[in-house]
Amino acid sequence: MIHVESLTKYYDDFCAVDQISFDIHRGEILGLLGPNGAGKTTTLRMLTGYIAPTAGDIRVKDYSIEEDMLDIKKLIGYLPESAPIYNDMIVYDYLQYVARIRGIGKEEWNDRIRHLADICGLNDIMHKVVDELSKGLKQRVGLAHAMMNDPEILILDEPTSGLDPNQIVEIRQIIKKIGQEKTVVLSTHILSEVEATCDRIIIIDRGKIVADDTTAAIKQSAGEKQFVSLSLLDAEFKDVEEALKGIDGIIKIDKVDSDDEGVVAVKVTVRSDADPRGEIYRTIKQTDWVLVEFHRETRTLETIFRELTKEY
């Protein structure tokens, strides 16, 4: 659907995006993940044609951004960061204006606007001035704006930034619903967001792609180690270490600070191909320690993200 090849953008001397290449397929929800200033917004702005790349090429379907920008713009619905909508307009007037520019005929306006109002939950605010809306409501108007012409590709820049948790869940549901039929590209620096919504993740850092895979694959690329956490009552760390030491697959046993009094918290480092949980349990059962907590820690997206984007 979208083919990006060695896309580069320089702002004067500063290289915001450095030779990135990727493909976006039809019907995919792609999350562009990265720390602040990694080049997410710049990449999206180039995809939408708002700014021109310094080098590289973007092809949307068979259109090239050099020659057929107008055709590409017709395919794309775009919601910029923090939804900068004309402040002095009434929501309905604004949507009507967008419908006109998007070339939607007079007969279809009302149906289309009503439909979008239902999807985005705008029915109560149709006749309010944009200026009076809360950030979340404005974001929803922006979403309606982006979906006006039923675009094949929806590009959303930080769609949930600045929203409260309820609004975030709502917007995510909307995005997921759209993503069933459309191609969605969204950028964020919130990890739980991509985890909750995206099929595929591209992590960029300082203008370069550091990871590009499906959400599940990225989470599974756990590396060689995994961890098991234990919390025990009536035990001494030394004894625990002694008892567990001999179990196959355990690499290291560490004491962890615990908030609860009398509880010994232990972090066991385990080889990734082994699962010694049964053995650990049987060992502990033979003592009079009370096991209050016992779980395996899979590597979260957060740890992966931090490893990939940490400062050197």
Partner 1 sequence: MRQAIHIFKKEFGAYFLSPIAYIVIALFLLVTGWFFFAGFFIYNRADLRNFFNLLPIVFSFVIPAITMRLYSEELHAGSYEILLTMPVTYFDVIAGKFLAAVAFVGVMLVPTLAYPITVSLIGDLDWGPVIGGYIGGILLAAAYSAIGIFASSLTRNQIIAFMMGMSICFVLTMINKMLFFFPQTILSVIGYLSADNHFQNIAKGILDTRDLLYFLSVVFIGLYATHIVMQEKR
Q: Which residues bind to partner 1, rule: CB under 8 A? A: 45, 48-52, 70, 73-74, 76, 78, 80, 82, 84-89, 93, 97-98, 100-103, 145
Least separation in angstroms between residue 104's CB and partner 1 is 11
CA distance linking residue 78 with residue 154, whole number of Å: 6
Least separation in angstroms between residue 74's CB and partner 1 is 5
Q: Are 89 and 98 in contact (CB under 8 A)?
A: no
CA distance linking residue 136 with residue 166, whole number of Å: 10
Query: Based on CB atoms, which residue is closest to partner 1, 69 or 301?
Result: 69
Query: Based on CB atoms, which residue is closest to partner 1, 80 or 249?
Result: 80
Query: Based on CB atoms, which residue is closest to partner 1, 62 or 88?
Result: 88
Least separation in angstroms between residue 72's CB and partner 1 is 9
Least separation in angstroms between residue 202's CB and partner 1 is 21
Query: Based on CB atoms, which residue is closest to partner 1, 153 or 265?
Result: 153
DSSP notation for 16-44: EEEEEEEEE-TT-EEEEE-STTSSHHHHH
104: closest CA among 149, 141, 72, 146? Answer: 149
Least separation in angstroms between residue 13's CB and partner 1 is 17
Query: Based on CB atoms, which residue is closest to partner 1, 112 or 299?
Result: 112
For residue 33, list its beta bridge partners: 188, 203
Q: What is the DSSP letter of 129?
A: B
Residues contacting residue 284 through CB under 8 Å, at least 6 positions apart: 230, 232, 243, 291
